[in-house]
Structure 1
Amino acid sequence: MNPALMCFLLLPVSVLAATTSDYSEYYDNSNDYGSSCNDGNPKPFIRVFFPILYSTAFIVGLIGNALVLWVLIRNRQRSSLTDVCFLNLALCDLLFVASLPFWAHSAAQEWVFGTFACHAVSGLVMMGLYGSVFFMVLMTLDRYVIMVYKRSICSRRRAKIALALFVWMLSLFVSLPNIVFAKVKNENNIITCGTEFPDSSGWTFMYLNVLSLILPLIIVSFCFCRIISIKSEEKHGVIRLLVAVLAVYFLFWTPYNVVMFFKFLQMKGFFGTCEWHVDLSLAMPFVEAIALSHCCLNPIIYTCVGQKFRRAVLTGPKEQFPSTCSPQSPDYSSTLIA
């Protein structure tokens, strides 16, 4: 085993395992790596805990993101580009939510939905992932332009819609490899759905890391460094909300990206020992579950940090935004959430 790797990747679930000092009861040691290395997956534990986790995330994510859509659509005439991004971020989360019943059933038993559903559900997850990242980056860039140049990236309604459609098309394009290479597999007489890239396409692991972690982190870090250097008290509520949304995203998706990076290195011949195979096989289902459960958290963040969203939910959109039908131009520097 590699204790440092396991400690980092399994920290969110370590409390669940703290009730026993003997973990052997959780492990299924039937899968061989080569001739003598088992994968160590805690399948009995997964079959009990993961369906509960996914079902809870499904209910909370469906209600929460539907509420976000309701608030933003009811007040769409006053929405800024940031609000458009929040709306589409809720749609991305709903893509994750739509996939959760499939993963819950698959964790409890096995994949019984066929090949087409495997491609479709894999597409929902990847489009939700890339869409979330791209819209968060777009929000950050728009807030940077507003704070530095006192204007929005685009303020016309049609331009906002066109930009959102472009982001969705880009998300679909970068998701195509995962959709195409999704495959129903038989592993130890258990049917599963996963992505299986050809040996020659290891770059797909790398651009997942680059597009969903490294590049977004570089962009948002640059933007926030510039924003922090500006001495202004204007719209700090939006900045706090955006920081919270981004921090929670990176917290929940970074372990998944780290494991995928190590799997890429393993495929290239590095870390090819039995110990590394056991560590990655054990970590993979947990980091996937942590990442998928993120889809229910944004509405909770809006409720805790976004004062306007909280008042809109408690008092109703008409009281919170009485001039919804007003013909005046929207204030691009404000949002309906923060």
Structure 2
Amino acid sequence: MSDDTANVTGYDYTDYYNGEMDNFAPCNNGNAKEFARVFVPALYSSIFILGFIGNALVLCVLVKHRNQTNMTDICLLNLAVSDLVFVISLPFYSHYSCVGHWVFGDFMCHFTSGLHSLGFFSSIFFMVAMTLDRYVVIMHALTVARHRTLRMGAFLSMCVWVLSLLISLPNFVLTEVKNISSVLHCEYKPESSDWRKYNLVTMNVIGLVIPLLVMIVCYSRIIPTLVNMRSAKKHRVVKLIITIVAVFFLSWTPLNIVLILFHLQEESDSSHDCNLKGNLTVAVLVTEVIAYAHCCLNPIIYAFVGQKFMRRVSRMMRMWLPCLTLFYPRDLSESFSRKASASSRSSEFTPTLVL
């Protein structure tokens, strides 16, 4: 949950507590409060359930077949863990939005905010890592094949987690429970405005602009190579690549734009415009839901589109739910095998490798 909109319980007394009492009249954020109380818990709960089930399934499949793990699987596993770390924080914020005050204590305020940030950045970074891995495999297959070892994958994963943790440290440390008008709030509002700007810059530049540029540059080189390959699957792969970039852009860009507008509004002369502030608060809440839903789509985009992964899912589901054999007596993996054999053998790349 964005720290700029954590206090949506009714009146905004921020200026009063900052000592700006001239012509003070608190803003009534009733619309934002009602939206947060009614819609946000339901939407966050839905994202949590779908995101948890989808990413947990990816995790189970990859762990079950850990003896066949490659670099792509390592990235997928870490991406699933990142999304799970992210969605774990949502039930706490769902309850916070519903009741209007924080009841989980100061430690959980620090911990939940830190997990939220850690899951966000690690998920973004592992998507970038997967993009770079696809790029070097397709564009420099002969020179990098010997370097794509499990040890290298583990080392890169550790580097990504450490980097994500370092970037998220301010959220672990500076988020705290504050008593405002006898109501407890879990907020990231450090005394120094530099830390607020740091949060805005990291989310927009490191969390959106740089990853988007990496995806655009890499995939703009990959797509022409795939198009020139003699493979029946190339059009499907190209469409999926475009989908990856489009979904990422459409999921996170609206939230980042609204957060920038929210920050500019607070720093401008219109900071006391209650209507504008209320509208921006609701806009942040809406775009947050859209952005957070991206963690539900990651398993679909990055895992379930692969033929090898779908065969594994099919076998595992039939093992867990034998009743499926009544409706699908033939193993679903056979259909994937037939489709794979019908594809051209002139290419050494498969959608599983590319995706």
TM-score, normalised via structure 2 length: 0.74
Q: Secondary structure at the match of 2:186?
A: strand
Which runs of no fewer than 5 residues in structure 2 stay unpaired? 1-7, 16-23, 320-330, 335-347
Distance 2:128 2:26 in 1: 45
Partners of 1:214 and 1:336 lie apart in 2 by 26
Gaps of 5+ in 1: 1-26, 322-330
1:206 equivalent in alignment to 2:201: yes
Deviations 1:240-290 (Å, cap 9, x if unpaired)?
545434432332222221122223333543754615423322222222233
Question: What residue identity is the alignment partner of 2:164?
Answer: S
Shift of 1:85: 1.1
CA distance in 1, matches of 2:298, 2:230: 25
1:44 to 10, 13, 34: 34
Q: Say if 2:176 is the partner of 1:183.
A: yes
* Cα separation, 2, equivalents of 1:39 and 1:271: 16
User: How many equivalent residue pairs?
Assistant: 303
Q: What per-residue deviation string (whole Å, max 9, x for no partner) do you get for residues 206-259 of structure 1?
A: 122100011111111111111122222567466654543443233222222112
Residue 16 of structure 1 aligns with which residue?
A: none
Larger radius of gyration: 2
- Structure 2 counterpart of 1:123: 114
Residue 87 of structure 1 is matched in structure 2 by 77
- Match of 1:145, SS? helix
Distance 1:269 1:120, change over 3 A: same
Q: How big is the shift at 1:204? A: 3.1
Deviation at residue 63 of structure 1 after TM alignment: 1.7
CA separation of 1:239 and 1:117: change in aligned 2, threshold 3 A: farther
Distance (whole Å) between structure 1 residues aligned to residue 260 and residue 251 of structure 2 = 16
**CA offset digits 1:97-118 (Å, max 9, x no partner):** 2112211211111210111111
Q: Is the 8 A contact 2:106 2:176 kept in 1?
A: yes
CA distance in 1, matches of 2:237, 2:182: 51
Query: What letter corresponds to residue 192 of structure 1 in structure 2?
Result: H
Q: 1:207 to 1:102 in 2, by over 3 A?
A: same
**More displaced, 205-214 or 76-85?**
76-85
Question: Is structure 2 residue 217 aligned with structure 1 residue 226?
Answer: no
**Which residue in 2 is equivalent to 1:244?**
243
**Residues 257-268 of structure 1 mapped to structure 2, 5 A cutoff:** 257-268=256-267
Q: How does 1:1-338 map to 2 (within 5 A)?
A: 30-31=11-12, 34-35=24-25, 37-109=27-99, 110-151=101-142, 152=144, 154-187=147-180, 189-197=182-190, 198-201=192-195, 202-230=197-225, 231-233=228-230, 236=234, 240-269=239-268, 272=271, 274=273, 275-301=275-301, 305-316=305-316, 335=352
C-alpha RMSD of the superposition:
3.1
Deviates more, 1:240-249 or 1:277-286: 240-249
Change (3 A) 1:158 1:182: same
Aligned mates of 2:261, 2:291 — CA distance in 1: 17
* Distance change in 2, residues 1:39/1:108 (3 Å): closer
The 8 Å contact of residues 10 and 29 in structure 2, kept in 1 or not, is answered as: yes
1:148 counterpart letter in structure 2: M
1:120-150 deviations in whole A, cap 9, x for unaligned?
A: 1111111111101111111111111111111
State, as a whole percentage, how many aligned pairs show the same letter: 42
Change (3 A) 1:93 1:270: farther
CA contact (8 A) 1:72 1:87 kept: yes
Most deviating of 181-190 and 55-64: 181-190
